[in-house]
Structure 1
Amino acid sequence: MTTYVPSLTLPSAIFEQPAASILLPLLIGPTIGYAVRPDRTKTTYRALKQPPGNPPPQVFGPVWTALYATMGYAAYRAYAAGATSIDPRKVALAKQGATLYTIQLGLNLIWMPLFFGLGRPIEATADIIALTGVTGYLAYIWVQVDEISAWCLAPYLGWLGFATYLSAGCGYLNKWNFKGQFQSEKDK
């Protein structure tokens, strides 16, 4: 069981302000994507053998934008509900949720560099499995503080399940080796 760990938790000021809570994942997520180089990511995505049901690359941006905004709102809402509660258990759960939220955000943000930047499908798949588990546990914690916050994670958990299938499927179909798949047209 994870508890509140201040050194692993975003500052409370982020959770206390709805704009900061929503904007943080909305800004950091795309920043990581651009750091990995979108041209390289799209080229690699198209070059990999894909499992059935894989969406076109242009689907990922809008989906992740909606998911990041929703998770940021849920974080604000759960923290606000817990921090203002007179129930000490809810206060503790809100702080624990803040730690779990921070951990899941970190796991979320390292998937793309692992998968596309470093070409490490085994590590990326292990990361997304851990991310899904932490997010599921976070929903369990948040439902005890604020049900709406927990339900806000439902689409995210659904997408993480699908993304796990895609990550593992790409890894398996490409023999867990992306070597040679990571050159954009400019790099060749």
Structure 2
Amino acid sequence: MSDAIFIPSILLSIPRHPVTALGLPLALGMLSGLPTAQVVRGPWYNNLFFPPGRPPRQVFPIVWPLLYLSMGYASHLAVKALDTSVSSSSRSALTLGIALYYVQLGMNFIWTPLFFGYKQVGLALIDSIMMAGTTFYATKLLDGPTNSQTTYFLLPYCAWLCFATYLNGGIWWLNRARASEKEE
């Protein structure tokens, strides 16, 4: 791993403070999810076929804020470890892990508009797969340098991303014929 990864200082200063570390993903998640409530009550969403295991829609506004808070706190722990790390390999892993945290946060932010706003279930699935992969890799990178502290906060998110990707993939698969019918 190289030390060549550059993270703008503002992106390091946000997670240095627990309130902003927790607040950024929570605020982005809330902002991204605002139009969702209307869509899930509408005909497009209610006419979709869903894979087995889909939880009631009331679960999502409970789970996601907890996951946002958890990932935000993991970013705080990662930056604290970066600030005190003297090992070149730990600094490299932490820097890349923090950069990937922001990448996955961006992918998380665009998933909801892709799926609910633009109704692009396939693009949302690609985003979800990339987000899960990025988050798993960031979790792996941050594990050693933070003595597994970040892993405790990111593993529930990783697990939920797997489940969410399954749901997204199932929705795409079960409704793909309908999407092609609309194009004809």
TM over 0.5, shorter chain: yes
The aligned counterpart of 2:89 is 89
The aligned counterpart of 1:39 is 38
Equivalent pair of 2:36/2:112 in contact (CA under 8 Å): no
The aligned counterpart of 2:53 is 53
Most deviating of 141-150 and 123-132 = 141-150
Cα offset for 1:176?
6.2
Q: Which runs of 5+ in 2 are unaligned?
A: none
Provide the C-alpha distance between the structure 2 equivalents of 1:20 and 1:161, rounded to a whole number of angstroms: 27
Residue identity opposite 2:164 in structure 1:
A
Provide the C-alpha distance between the structure 2 equivalents of 1:49 and 1:97, rounded to a whole number of angstroms: 36
Equivalent pair of 2:36/2:116 in contact (CA under 8 Å): no
Provide the C-alpha distance between the structure 1 equivalents of 2:49 and 2:56, rounded to a whole number of angstroms: 13
SS at match of 1:175: helix
Cα offset for 1:6?
2.7
Most deviating of 61-70 and 149-158 = 149-158
Equivalent pair of 2:128/2:165 in contact (CA under 8 Å): yes
Equivalent residues, number: 179
- Does 2:1 correspond to 1:6? no
Equivalent pair of 1:74/1:153 in contact (CA under 8 Å): yes
Provide the C-alpha distance between the structure 1 equivalents of 2:140 and 2:41, rounded to a whole number of angstroms: 35
Equivalent pair of 2:93/2:142 in contact (CA under 8 Å): yes
Provide the C-alpha distance between the structure 2 equivalents of 1:157 and 1:176, rounded to a whole number of angstroms: 30
The aligned counterpart of 1:159 is 160
Equivalent pair of 1:122/1:176 in contact (CA under 8 Å): no
Provide the C-alpha distance between the structure 1 equivalents of 2:66 and 2:161, rounded to a whole number of angstroms: 13
Cα offset for 1:83?
1.5
The aligned counterpart of 2:123 is 123
Identity of aligned residues (%): 36
Provide the C-alpha distance between the structure 2 equivalents of 1:13 and 1:114, rounded to a whole number of angstroms: 29
Equivalent pair of 1:71/1:152 in contact (CA under 8 Å): yes
SS at match of 2:86: coil
Residue identity opposite 2:81 in structure 1:
A
SS at match of 2:149: helix
Q: 1:110 to 1:27 in 2, by over 3 A?
A: same
SS at match of 2:164: helix
